Chain A
Amino acid sequence: MKGLPAHWRLLPQRYNLIGSYCKNCSGRFFPQRSICPDCRRTGSMEEFKFSGKGEIYSYTVIRAPPQGFDYQVPYVIAIVKMDEGPFITTQIVDCNPEDVEIGKRVETVFRKVIADGESGIIRYGYKFRLTD
């Protein structure tokens, strides 16, 4: 069962888009950071929950997938610019690749990402879908 503790530690990030906010410079970061890359030692970080809304900044269509993702092809992996600033790399679900365009609005959904074989844990997390 590889990576079980790491997955467990990342649940807030994967389930609820919990990142970081620097009280010194108001910078927002995802994934979470313990030190502000701009303020360094003068920064003060706290947890920040992203709204899960944003727009497509760029995307690609996956036709040669990594192991385990075979049956979803063709699927879209996009860089989404979240409304609060940071970029996030994510799968765009419930659409045909031709429906996806740069600038289109997206919102987060809760989905199964991958399971560790037939008897291992199921890894759930964020994906995005096009906003109606």
Chain B
Amino acid sequence: MSVGIVGYGAYLPRYRIKTDEIARVWGKDPESVKKGLGVYEKTVPNLDEDAATIAVEASRNALLHSGIKPADIGAIYAGSESPPYAVKPTATIVGAAIEATPELTAADLEFACKAGTAAIQCCMGLVEAERIKFGLAVGSDTSQGMPGDILEYTASAGGAAFIIGKENLIAEIKDTHSFTTDTPDFWRREGEEFPKHGARFTGEPAYFKHVINCSKRIMERNKLSPKDFKYVVFHQPNGRFPLKAAKILGFDQEQIKPGLLTPWIGNTYSGSTLLGLVRILDEATEGDLILATSYGSGAGSDSFIIEVTKENEKRKNSKPLQSFIDRKDYVDYAVYAKLKGKIKGVKLEK
């Protein structure tokens, strides 16, 4: 039997900040920022949340949805660009918190915004080789944007987890393909608090080149075209890029809109493509074909062709993504700065 998704789970922090509020502080015209980025608000992690706590919450929800025993998980890969430790794997914390330890392999992955889809590929390989029964792939981040930088309007927090296996699949992963180059569009040096980016350079030679080439190659290889898909989801650094990529490739609004979340939650980095996929799986029915293509700066894309099975309707996720999107409280910039640790000295430590 083929490899696929046995269960999935999502998590978003409760707090939100509006684009208008960030623009107010930095003296920008909120309407032009919203128009330019297509982002209206973003999630804000609480002072006691980080990429590890988000990964644990998403993984617990995935476990609940899958119905599998935690001890049957043979691998955990946690993808993030904001892990709480420089050395000490988040995957070990996730493993202990879902009671999957100790008989498993675990590691953290980093590839800007695409470490979560790289984690899925790692799990697929091990499952297909029958080295493990189930693998857990997580993508979570509490991403950083320098105060006043354009990234500050989008860099948010959230995550999603997928259990990969061969039994009771809610969706079959028919194929995966990757496209990787050495492109310096966005980076953060060791010890630096905030990332740097190549501004407009992040578009054509970075995001679009990788997303479009990767998506084209996997469709060509499988003799499929955009009209064969019910849904498409791309990495969502803002609300504009994925719409433009869809248009270039020949997808229409109905195919991309269900999984487009950035306007309301911001860019959750390693969680971005995965959360879009979660939103789609929450409503997809048997036979629906999904194209998912992530993008990670640096740079690379991972594409997946996913076919939804009957099991997805039989075993609906009890914690759909919309419940996390709707559960929100707004904070102003001052509280946001405190929660994000942007005020010097504010830390949850003794």
Contact of B48 among A11, A93, A132 (CB under 8 A): A93
Q: Report the bound CA distance from A125 to B56 in whole Å.
A: 11
Chain B interface size band reads 20 to 34
> Does B151 reach chain A (CB closer than 8 Å)?
no
Among B60, B97, B323: residue with most chain A CB under 10 A: B97
Interface string of A97-111 (1 = CB under 8 A from B): 000000000000111
Residues of A within 8 A of B50 (CB): 112, 122
Q: Report the bound CA distance from A127 to B48 in whole Å.
A: 10
Q: From DSSP, what is the main secondary structure of chain A's interface residues?
A: mixed
CB within 8 Å of A: which B41-78 residues: 46-50, 52-53, 56-57, 60
Q: Report the bound CA distance from A124 to B348 in whole Å.
A: 11
Chain A nearest Cβ from B337, distance in angstroms: 11
Chain B nearest Cβ from A18, distance in angstroms: 9
Residues of A within 8 A of B350 (CB): 67-68, 114-117
Residues of B within 8 A of A42 (CB): none
The chain A residue sitting closest to B59, CB to CB, is A110
Residues of A within 8 A of B348 (CB): 68-69, 71-72, 112, 114-115
Residues of A within 8 A of B93 (CB): 124
Given that A71-B47, A72-B47, A132-B327 are known contacts, is A114 also in contact with B349, CB under 8 Å in the complex? yes
Chain A nearest Cβ from B255, distance in angstroms: 31
Contact of A124 among B15, B47, B53, B323 (CB under 8 A): B53
> Does A4 reach chain B (CB closer than 8 Å)?
no
Residues of A within 8 A of B85 (CB): 122
Chain A nearest Cβ from B312, distance in angstroms: 24
Interface string of B314-350 (1 = CB under 8 A from A): 0000000001000101000000001000000011111
A111 contacts B349, C-beta separation under 8 Å: no
The chain A residue sitting closest to B88, CB to CB, is A121
Chain B nearest Cβ from A53, distance in angstroms: 13
Q: Report the bound CA distance from A71 to B48 in whole Å.
A: 10
The chain A residue sitting closest to B327, CB to CB, is A132
Given that A11-B96, A15-B97 are known contacts, is A111 also in contact with B346, CB under 8 Å in the complex? no
The chain B residue sitting closest to A96, CB to CB, is B329
A93 contacts B46, C-beta separation under 8 Å: yes
A132 contacts B338, C-beta separation under 8 Å: no
B53 contacts A110, C-beta separation under 8 Å: yes
> Does A39 reach chain B (CB closer than 8 Å)?
no
B84 contacts A122, C-beta separation under 8 Å: yes
Residues of B within 8 A of A68 (CB): 348-350
> Does A25 reach chain B (CB closer than 8 Å)?
no
> Does B240 reach chain A (CB closer than 8 Å)?
no
A109 contacts B57, C-beta separation under 8 Å: yes
Residues of A within 8 A of B60 (CB): 110
Chain A interface size band reads 20 to 34
> Does B34 reach chain A (CB closer than 8 Å)?
no
A15 contacts B96, C-beta separation under 8 Å: yes
CB within 8 Å of B: which A12-51 residues: 15-16
Given that A68-B349, A71-B338, A117-B350 are known contacts, is A111 also in contact with B53, CB under 8 Å in the complex? yes
Chain A nearest Cβ from B157, distance in angstroms: 13
Residues of B within 8 A of A94 (CB): 14-15, 46, 329
Contact of A115 among B15, B49, B346, B349 (CB under 8 A): B349
Residues of B within 8 A of A120 (CB): 349
> Does B99 reach chain A (CB closer than 8 Å)?
yes
Chain B nearest Cβ from A28, distance in angstroms: 18
Given that A67-B350, A94-B14 are known contacts, is A110 also in contact with B47, CB under 8 Å in the complex? no
The chain B residue sitting closest to A117, CB to CB, is B349
Q: Report the bound CA distance from A111 to B350 in whole Å.
A: 16
Chain A nearest Cβ from B132, distance in angstroms: 22
Residues of A within 8 A of B97 (CB): 15-16, 110, 124
Q: Report the bound CA distance from A15 to B346 in whole Å.
A: 25
Given that A112-B50, A113-B48, A124-B53 are known contacts, is A16 also in contact with B349, CB under 8 Å in the complex? no
Chain A nearest Cβ from B245, distance in angstroms: 35
A-B pairs with lowest CB-CB distance, top 3: A68-B350, A115-B349, A111-B48
- On B, residues with C-beta under 8 Å from A are 14-15, 46-50, 52-53, 56-57, 60, 84-85, 93, 96-97, 99, 323, 327, 329, 338, 346-350
List 17 contacting pairs A-B, 8 Å CB cutoff, sorted by A. Answer: A15-B96, A71-B47, A71-B348, A72-B48, A93-B48, A111-B48, A112-B48, A112-B52, A112-B53, A112-B84, A117-B349, A117-B350, A118-B349, A120-B349, A122-B84, A124-B56, A127-B48
